Structure 1
Amino acid sequence: MRLERLDDLLVDWLPRQRWFAGKDRRIDGISVVSDTELVEGDPSLRHVILAVHQDGGTDRYQVPLGVRSELPGRLQYAAIGQLGDGSCVYDAVHDPGLTRVWLENMAGNVDAGPLTFRSITTIDTELESLASPAEQSNTSLIYGDVYICKLFRRLTPGINPDLEVSIGLARAGSKHVPELHGWFSSDLGGTLSTLGMMSEFLRSGTDGWQLAGTSVRDLYAEADLRADEVGGDFAAEAERLGAATADVHRDLAAAFGTGEMSQAEVGAVAERMHARLVETCDVVPQLRPYAGRLTDAFDALEELDGPLLVQRVHGDYHLGQVMRTDSGWMLLDFEGEPVKSLEERRAPAHPLRDVAGMLRSFDYAARHLLVNGQAFGGDRDQLEYRAQEWADRNRAAFCRGYAEAGGIDPAAHEVILRAFEFDKAIYEVLYEARNRPSWLRIPLGSIAALSTRAESGYLAS
Structure 2
Amino acid sequence: MTKTAFLRPRSAPAESLESLAGLLREWLPLQRWFAGKDRPVTDLGVLSTTELFPGCLHVLVHAAHGGVPAPGGATPAGDCYQLLLGVRERPSPRLGKALIGTVRDGLLAGLTVYDALQDPRAAQLLLERLRRPGTAGPLHFEGDPAHEVPAGLVPRLLKAEQSNSSLVYGDEYILKVFRRIQPGVNPDLEVPGALARQGCHRVPAPVAWLRTTHPFKATLGVLQPYLRNAADGWTLALDALASGDDFTAQAHDLGRATADVHLALSSAFPVGAPGENGQTAAAMTERLTAAAHAVPALQPYVPGLRGAFAALATCDAGPPAQRIHGDLHLGQVLRAGREWFVIDFEGEPSRPLSERRSAHSPVRDIAGMLRSFDYAARQRRPWRPEWARRCREAYCAGYAARAGWDPRKKHGLLRAYETDRAVYEVLYEARHRPDWLPVPMAAIERLAVRGN
Instruction: Give the TM-score normalised by structure 1.
Output: 0.84
For 1:248, the aligned partner's letter is V
Of 43, 56, 61 in structure 2, the residue corresponding to residue 50 of structure 1 is 61
Of 322, 333, 337 in structure 2, the residue corresponding to residue 311 of structure 1 is 322
What is the CA–CA distance in structure 1 between the aligned matches of 2:298 and 2:140, rounded to whole Å?
51
Counterpart of 1:244 in structure 2 is: 257
Counterpart of 1:33 in structure 2 is: 47
What is the CA–CA distance in structure 2 between the aligned matches of 1:287 and 1:69, rounded to whole Å?
53
8 A contact 1:130–1:141 mirrored in 2: yes
The percent identity for this pair of structures is 46
Of 3, 17, 26 in structure 1, the residue corresponding to residue 31 of structure 2 is 17
SS at match of 1:180: coil
Counterpart of 1:8 in structure 2 is: 22
What is the CA–CA distance in structure 2 between the aligned matches of 1:183 and 1:127, rounded to whole Å?
17
Question: 111-120 or 298-307: which moved more?
Answer: 298-307
Deviation at 1:5, TM superposition (A): 3.0
Counterpart of 1:117 in structure 2 is: 141
Counterpart of 1:151 in structure 2 is: 177
Counterpart of 1:446 in structure 2 is: 443
Of 203, 210, 213 in structure 1, the residue corresponding to residue 238 of structure 2 is 213
What is the CA–CA distance in structure 1 between the aligned matches of 2:440 and 2:37, rounded to whole Å?
26
For 2:337, the aligned partner's letter is D
8 A contact 2:333–2:343 mirrored in 1: yes
SS at match of 1:259: coil
Q: Does 1:204 align with 2:229?
A: yes
Instruction: Give the TM-score normalised by structure 2.
Output: 0.85
- 401 and 77 in structure 1: CA distance in 2 versus 1, 3 angstrom threshold: same
Deviation at 1:306, TM superposition (A): 6.0
Counterpart of 1:356 in structure 2 is: 367
Counterpart of 2:9 in structure 1 is: none
8 A contact 1:249–1:407 mirrored in 2: no
SS at match of 1:260: coil
For 1:238, the aligned partner's letter is A
- 432 and 100 in structure 1: CA distance in 2 versus 1, 3 angstrom threshold: closer
Counterpart of 2:198 in structure 1 is: 172
Counterpart of 1:380 in structure 2 is: none
8 A contact 1:49–1:60 mirrored in 2: yes
For structure 1, the residue ranges without an aligned partner over 5 or more in a row are 220-231, 371-382
For structure 2, the residue ranges without an aligned partner over 5 or more in a row are 5-15, 68-76
8 A contact 1:29–1:53 mirrored in 2: yes
- 208 and 453 in structure 1: CA distance in 2 versus 1, 3 angstrom threshold: farther
Of 188, 191, 208 in structure 2, the residue corresponding to residue 162 of structure 1 is 188
8 A contact 2:307–2:450 mirrored in 1: no
Q: Does 1:367 align with 2:393?
A: no
Question: 387-396 or 47-56: which moved more?
Answer: 47-56
8 A contact 1:37–1:46 mirrored in 2: yes
The C-alpha deviation readout for 1:44-66, integer Å capped at 9, x for no partner, is: 21212222333233422211111
Of 385, 395, 399 in structure 1, the residue corresponding to residue 396 of structure 2 is 399
Counterpart of 2:267 in structure 1 is: 254
For 1:396, the aligned partner's letter is E
* C-alpha RMSD of the superposition: 2.6
For 1:401, the aligned partner's letter is G
Of 425, 428, 450 in structure 2, the residue corresponding to residue 428 of structure 1 is 425
What is the CA–CA distance in structure 2 between the aligned matches of 1:173 and 1:447, rounded to whole Å?
39
How many residues matched?
422
What is the CA–CA distance in structure 1 between the aligned matches of 2:291 and 2:60, rounded to whole Å?
37
The C-alpha deviation readout for 1:323-366, integer Å capped at 9, x for no partner, is: 11125111111111111111111111111110111001111111
8 A contact 2:193–2:205 mirrored in 1: no
8 A contact 1:104–1:125 mirrored in 2: yes
Deviation at 1:6, TM superposition (A): 2.3
Question: 15-24 or 210-219: which moved more?
Answer: 15-24
